[in-house]
Amino acid sequence: MNVLAEAITALRKARHVAVFTGAGISAESGIPTFRDRLTGLWARHDPERLETAKAFKEHPQLVWGWYLWRRQQVLQAQPNPAHLAIARLADVGRENTVITQNIDDLHERAGSQGVVHLHGSLLTPKCFACHRPAELTQEQLATPAEGALIEPPRCARCNGRLRPGVVWFGEDLPAGAWKAATQAARSCDVMLSIGTSGVVMPAARLPDLALAAGATIIHVNRVDVRLHQPKELMLIGLAGQLVPHLIDLMLAG
């Protein structure tokens, strides 16, 4: 039996499928990953230096302008065939959980419900001081010129500066999201791991947890990211091509 056939068999037998996605799936919708070189005026900045509480404290206008620019990138992107195929798993009549490291809303726009966001959401800001979520006016969401410095809006409750509602380097994952993700990893029969690098901790532990609990891992990536453990299957290629094909064959049986 070849790898694709093994993957289809595992999916058809599964009572609970967990889908775990990383930057690779969003990259196919045109959203750059942190490993992609920035363009234009942002090219002189290191994304990892902008993704910290320290950077926000020292340069709030720079970080807020960067995030408004990134937010506009996300809103211009569209779900690709892999996102749409993942959403179809909800119609199969078995338990499924979508867990993502991505801070965009492409899974939701594709139709997936109850997505577990390990790293928060770019579209939902929160207060830097009191941590309450906030909503922005259309004027506050106006797209800045690339590289523009923008003063962050203020929290309506405590007057603290608003920050993006994402997990920055050095911050803990949201406790509720991490608990839901680990529970899904330990209870699923199959984990479909798509576009993940396997190096961002602690999220990269989820396939390990699933394997330890006896699940089959189906990796979909442009490079081989296997942990070289039993019950791992590797499909190399574009998610937008492989995932719809995999789901089509699964549903055809």
What lies within 8 Å, CB to CB, of 169 at 6+ separation is 48, 51, 52
In terms of residue numbers, what domain contains 127? Answer: 33-76+120-166
- 46 falls in which pLDDT band (50, 70, 90)? low
pLDDT at residue 59 is higher than 60:
yes
Asked if residue 179 and residue 127 are part of one domain, the reply reads no
Asked if residue 38 and residue 157 are part of one domain, the reply reads yes
148 or 24: whose pLDDT is higher? Answer: 24
Mind listing the pLDDT tens digit for each residue in 72-99? 888 899 999 999 999 999 887 789 999 9
Q: Residue 43: how many CA atoms within 13 Å on its side-chain side?
A: 4
Asked if residue 222 and residue 134 are part of one domain, the reply reads no
Asked if residue 109 and residue 49 are part of one domain, the reply reads no
Supply the CATH number for residue 136's domain.
3.30.1600.10
Percent of the chain with pLDDT over 70: 90
- Tally of domains within the chain: 2
Asked if residue 200 and residue 160 are part of one domain, the reply reads no
Asked if residue 239 and residue 188 are part of one domain, the reply reads yes
Asked if residue 246 and residue 211 are part of one domain, the reply reads yes
Residue ending a domain, among 109, 142, 166, is 166
Angle (CA) 214 217 223, round 5°: 150
pLDDT at residue 33 is higher than 80:
no
Asked if residue 92 and residue 37 are part of one domain, the reply reads no
Catalytic residues: 119
Whether the CA torsion 231, 237, 239, 241 is positive or negative: it is negative
Asked if residue 190 and residue 91 are part of one domain, the reply reads yes
Distances (CA, A) of 60 to 66, 128, 150: 10, 11, 8
pLDDT at res. 200? 78
Specify which residues 46 forms β-bridges with: none
Spatial separation of the C-alpha atoms in residues 108 and 253, rounded to whole Å: 27
Mind listing the pLDDT tens digit for each residue in 109-152? 999 999 999 999 998 899 999 999 998 887 777 666 666 688 99
46 or 169: whose pLDDT is higher? Answer: 169
65-74, 145-154, 244-253: range with lowest mean pLDDT: 145-154
Spatial separation of the C-alpha atoms in residues 208 and 186, rounded to whole Å: 9
Average pLDDT score over residue span 172-176 = 94
Asked if residue 225 and residue 133 are part of one domain, the reply reads no
Return the H-helix or E-strand segment holding 233: strand 232-236
Q: Is 85 exposed, middle or buried (0-12, 13-18, 19+ CB in 10 A)?
A: buried
pLDDT at residue 35 is higher than 80:
no
**Whole-number average pLDDT of the chain:** 89
Residue ending a domain, among 166, 181, 202, is 166
- 40 falls in which pLDDT band (50, 70, 90)? very low
Asked if residue 114 and residue 42 are part of one domain, the reply reads no
Supply the CATH number for residue 221's domain.
3.40.50.1220
The pTM of the whole model exceeds 0.75: yes
pLDDT at res. 47? 67
Specify which residues 99 forms β-bridges with: 20, 116
